[in-house]
């Protein structure tokens, strides 16, 4: 996979640089509007909370990166992915006078008005960055290339970025492996599950009175992956008194009908873990046909990959 992110100062022309660089490299260009469209297709019309925007955007982009090399021209794009060998990040800067001149021509306003508008646009950009990433300004150490357009134009800047990308052999890299995309999507969708954000078109979400927050989070994750589930659907008698009355039973937390699998979540309290393990051992002895798995929150990922539940 080759990922090239390009962003920059307000009215510096970074969007035009990204467009030209994508054409030179023959990469797919992803701008704000295109990413918003993809996210709407993925998650429906619901508004993604600002705190969840990064995870939602990364989840969508990881899926498309298995099919295309991407130039991501989105505000703060350099923060979307962790360090990857195939990731290159670029920032475009320009002197304030030049940026004001850009607005004067684009919006047909006088210099004083251009200065005012530039200040407002810059504040909006910082608010957007802060809402998405918790920080209003870009951090220079995140960029591989920083170009100042004081003395050359957008097409020249695009050529320079394309030359650096070619030197790093970005165009020669393969697409994002499905396994890597699945790992990225698992991580991001775990975050989204906490906000009950799931793909559009899924079956209606169930609402149950969960006994523990970890159970609700797990249910949200199952919904995200469009995996049908039932919460505590059945109790299994484990011990009886001399009259045949049930004196002990066990009710697993979830049942996944597609896999005929019961799932029991544990807590970190060793006393509760030991008690549950004893009940599970009894259940397996009495009901050998019942498929049950016990695991911690840290084992969610093992369950997902063990059963081949790829992100869709």
Structure tokens at 84: 């990857």
Please tell me the distance from the alpha carbon of residue 2 to that of residue 67, in angstroms, as a whole number.
Answer: 11
The ranges assigned to domains in the chain are 3-190, 202-306
pLDDT for the residue 2: 84
Q: Check: CB of residue 176 under 8 Å from CB of residue 61.
A: no
**CATH code of the domain made up of 202-306:** 3.40.960
Please tell me the distance from the alpha carbon of residue 76 to that of residue 139, in angstroms, as a whole number.
Answer: 10
> Does the pLDDT at position 309 exceed 50?
no
Average pLDDT, the chain: 85
Q: What's the half-sphere exposure (Cβ side, CA atoms, 13 Å) at 45? A: 0
222-259 as b/e: b if 16+ CB within 10 A: bbbbebebebeeeebbbeeeeeeeeeeebebbbbbeeb
Nearest to 90 by CA among 5, 154, 167: 5
pLDDT for the residue 308: 46
Nearest to 99 by CA among 114, 83, 116: 114
Q: Which residues are CB-contacts of 264 (< 8 A; sequence separation ≥ 6)?
A: 252, 253, 254, 276, 280, 292, 293, 294, 295
Residues belonging to the chain? 312
pLDDT for the residue 204: 39
> Does the pLDDT at position 14 exceed 80?
yes
Nearest to 49 by CA among 135, 125, 131, 129: 131
Q: Check: CB of residue 10 under 8 Å from CB of residue 100.
A: no
CATH value of 3-190 in 3.40.50.620, 3.40.50.300, 3.10.580.10, 3.40.50.150 = 3.40.50.300
pTM of the complete model: 0.67
What confidence category does residue 312 fall into, taking pLDDT thresholds of 50, 70 and 90? very low
Please tell me the distance from the alpha carbon of residue 54 to that of residue 75, in angstroms, as a whole number.
Answer: 11
Nearest to 32 by CA among 59, 3, 71, 63: 71
* 202: helix, strand or coil: coil
Q: What is the average per-residue pLDDT within 21-32?
A: 93
> Does the pLDDT at position 91 exceed 90?
yes
Lowest-confidence range among 18-32, 136-150, 224-238?
224-238
pLDDT for the residue 7: 95
152-175 as b/e: b if 16+ CB within 10 A: eebeebbebbbebbeebebeeeeb
Please tell me the distance from the alpha carbon of residue 30 to that of residue 18, in angstroms, as a whole number.
Answer: 9
């Amino acid at each position: 996979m080759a990922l090239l992110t390009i962003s920059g100062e307000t009215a510096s022309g970074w969007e035009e640089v990204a467009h030209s660089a994508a054409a030179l490299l023959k990469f797919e260009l992803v701008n704000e509007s295109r990413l918003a469209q993809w996210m709407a297709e993925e998650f429906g019309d619901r508004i993604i909370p600002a705190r969840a925007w990064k995870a939602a955007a990364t989840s969508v982009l990881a899926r498309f990166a298995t099919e295309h090399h991407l130039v991501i021209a989105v505000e703060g794009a350099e923060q979307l992915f962790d360090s990857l060998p195939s990731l290159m990040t670029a920032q475009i800067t320009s002197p304030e006078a030049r940026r004001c001149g850009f607005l004067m021509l684009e919006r047909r306003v006088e210099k004083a008005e251009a200065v005012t508008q530039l200040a407002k646009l810059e504040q909006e950009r910082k608010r957007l960055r802060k809402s998405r990433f918790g920080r209003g300004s870009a951090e220079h150490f995140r960029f591989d290339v920083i170009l100042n357009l004081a003395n050359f134009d957008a097409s020249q800047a695009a050529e320079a970025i394309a030359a650096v990308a070619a030197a790093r052999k970005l165009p020669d890299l393969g697409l994002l492996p499905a396994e890597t995309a699945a790992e990225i999507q698992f991580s991001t969708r775990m975050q989204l599950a906490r906000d009950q954000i799931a793909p559009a078109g899924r079956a209606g979400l169930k609402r149950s009175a969960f006994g523990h927050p970890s159970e609700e989070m797990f249910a949200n994750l199952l919904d995200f992956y469009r995996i049908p589930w039932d919460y505590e659907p059945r109790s299994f008698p484990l011990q009886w008194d001399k009259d045949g009355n049930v004196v002990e039973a066990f009710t697993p937390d979830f049942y996944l009908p597609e896999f005929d699998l019961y799932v029991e979540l544990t807590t970190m309290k060793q006393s509760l873990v030991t008690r549950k393990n004893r009940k599970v051992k009894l259940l397996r002895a009495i009901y050998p046909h019942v498929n049950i798995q016990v695991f911690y929150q840290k084992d969610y990922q093992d369950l997902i990959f063990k059963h081949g539940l790829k992100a869709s």
